[in-house]
């Protein structure tokens, strides 16, 4: 369970208590008003009712322009038994789906992936060096380790989230971060490939120069599972499924082969990289669309001021799909080509 603490004008006390009770709060208690006539109202709520309660509080913000609701969330444990089910009379949230975590919390965590930070760039440089050396030495353990620590996927998930919410500022920032990340990884790998004695016949390298339709299906499934684990609050499964569509190894292989002058093989690695990128974007947008994951209609001091257009979200899905179909056509044309 969680405790949601709302700091609001004292005149809203009864309405907040009634709202908490309407959405099956386990307990509600109020503090004393301060000198500015604001008071805290704390609600112990169940995970299943949390999204609906947040929607109701959002409506309260819209109806009360003078209200300034500050919401803090804490983990809570009650010794009383939890209700086995939500009361049948409880209103449904405005946005259906299985979005089980606080939207603001999810939005803030996703937005961090779109930030171009010095620490992330340093981590990317180190993980790329580890990946390139692991690929050159045919060391699977090192390659997997670099896949896990590389901060590349976050920017692409943030890009898909921004597209699903028509957040132009986050969209531009995420696109820049994702592009810079890929360019840095490819450039470092190119330098290592030019200087390091890399065997292009080892399994770690050659396996990432071959791309088939099966890779597309795998990347779509793993991308959807990874984003779904985020939206349902089970992020502990994220690492495993997202390793399947990791972007760093194909980017590193592409750079290594460019450094060695193996352009035909490098094309295969580039195709695999692009397939993984667009599969993550497409799968993420579809999950966000089907689960109605988007910013609320109004967030005071935040980015979104208007409802997110439904057509705009669908158009982004078709954009990623069109790019993926172009890649599939190119993959199909290469299936009969012998690269050695």
Taking the C-alpha atoms of residue 75 and residue 146, their distance in angstroms, rounded to an integer, is 33
> What's the pLDDT tens digit per position in 214-261?
888 888 888 888 787 777 666 555 665 666 678 888 999 999 999 888
Collapse the DSSP code of 38 into the 3-class scheme (helix H, G, I; strand E, B; otherwise coil) and give the result: strand
Distance CA 191, CA 253 (A): 12
pLDDT of residue 182: 92
How many CB atoms sit inside 10 A of residue 328's CB?
16
Nearest of 44, 48, 42 to residue 7 by alpha carbon: 42
The predicted pLDDT at position 75 comes to: 58
Q: Are strands 38-45 and 27-30 parallel, antiparallel or unpaired?
A: antiparallel
Q: What is the pLDDT of residue 96?
A: 45
Which residues, listed in sequence order, are joined to residue 27 by a DSSP beta bridge? Answer: 44
Q: Are 61 and 298 in contact (CB under 8 A)?
A: yes
- pLDDT number for residue 160: 86
DSSP of 21-74: HHTT-SEEEE----TTSEEEEEEEE-TTTHHHHHHHHHHHHHH-TT---EEEEE
- Say if residue 330's pLDDT is above 90: no
CA distance 303 to 167: 7
CA distance 84 to 150: 42
Tell whether the model's pLDDT for residue 311 goes beyond 60. Answer: yes
Share of the chain above pLDDT 70, in %: 74
* Distance, CA of 149 to chain centre: 16
Residue 325 has pLDDT above 50, yes or no: yes
Structure-token match 């990791």, residue found: 246
Query: For residue 91, what are its two tokens?
Result: 């209103």
Domain ranges of the chain: 2-75, 103-334
Mean pLDDT of 67-82: 56
* pLDDT at 91 > cutoff 70: no
Instruction: Indicate left, alpha or beta for 249 from its phi (over 0: left) and psi (-120 to 50: alpha).
Output: alpha
CA distance linking residue 177 with residue 114, whole number of Å: 6
How, if at all, do strands 38-45 and 70-75 pair? unpaired
Fold of 2-75: Alpha-Beta Plaits (3.30.70)
Which residues sit opposite 154 in a β-bridge?
A: none
H or E element at residue 70: strand 70-75
Instruction: Write out pLDDT tens, residues 10-60.
Output: 888 888 888 888 888 888 888 888 887 888 888 887 777 777 787 787 777
**Which is more confident, 171 or 99?**
171
Which comes out higher in pLDDT, residue 137 or 275?
275
DSSP SS3 for 39: strand
User: How would you label 36-64 residue by residue, b for 16+ Cβ within 10 Å and e otherwise?
Assistant: eebbbbbbbbbeebbbbbbbbbbebbeee
């Amino acid at each position: 369970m969680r405790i949601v603490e709302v700091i609001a004008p004292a005149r809203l006390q009864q309405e907040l208590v009634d709202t908490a009770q309407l959405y099956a709060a386990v307990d509600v208690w109020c503090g004393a008003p301060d000198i500015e006539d604001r008071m805290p109202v704390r609600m112990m709520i169940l995970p299943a009712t949390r999204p609906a309660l947040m929607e109701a509080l959002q409506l309260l913000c819209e109806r009360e322009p003078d209200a300034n609701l500050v919401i803090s969330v804490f983990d809570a444990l009650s010794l009383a038994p939890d209700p086995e089910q939500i009361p049948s009379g409880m209103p449904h949230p405005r946005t259906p789906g299985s979005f089980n975590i606080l939207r603001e919390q999810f939005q803030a965590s996703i937005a961090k992936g779109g930030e171009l930070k010095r620490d992330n760039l340093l981590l990317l440089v180190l993980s790329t060096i580890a990946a390139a050396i692991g690929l050159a030495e045919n060391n699977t353990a090192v390659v997997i380790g670099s896949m896990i620590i590389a901060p590349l996927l976050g920017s692409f998930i943030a890009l898909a989230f921004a597209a699903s919410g028509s957040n132009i500022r986050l969209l531009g920032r995420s696109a820049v971060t994702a592009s810079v990340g890929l360019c840095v990884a490819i450039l470092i790998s190119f330098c290592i490939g030019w200087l390091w004695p890399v065997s292009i016949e080892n399994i770690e390298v050659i396996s990432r120069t071959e791309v088939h339709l099966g890779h597309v299906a795998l990347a779509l499934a793993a991308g959807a599972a990874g984003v779904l684990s985020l939206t349902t609050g089970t992020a502990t499964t994220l690492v495993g499924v997202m390793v399947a569509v990791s972007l760093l190894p194909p980017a590193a292989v592409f750079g290594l082969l460019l450094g060695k002058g193996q352009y035909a093989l490098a094309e295969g690695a580039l195709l695999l990289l692009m397939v993984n990128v667009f599969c993550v974007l497409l799968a993420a947008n579809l999950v966000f669309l089907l689960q109605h994951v988007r910013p609320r209609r109004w967030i005071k001091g935040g980015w979104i001021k208007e409802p997110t257009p439904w057509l705009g979200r669908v158009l982004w899905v078709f954009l990623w799909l069109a790019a993926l179909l172009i890649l599939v056509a190119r993959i199909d044309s290469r299936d009969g080509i012998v690269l050695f």
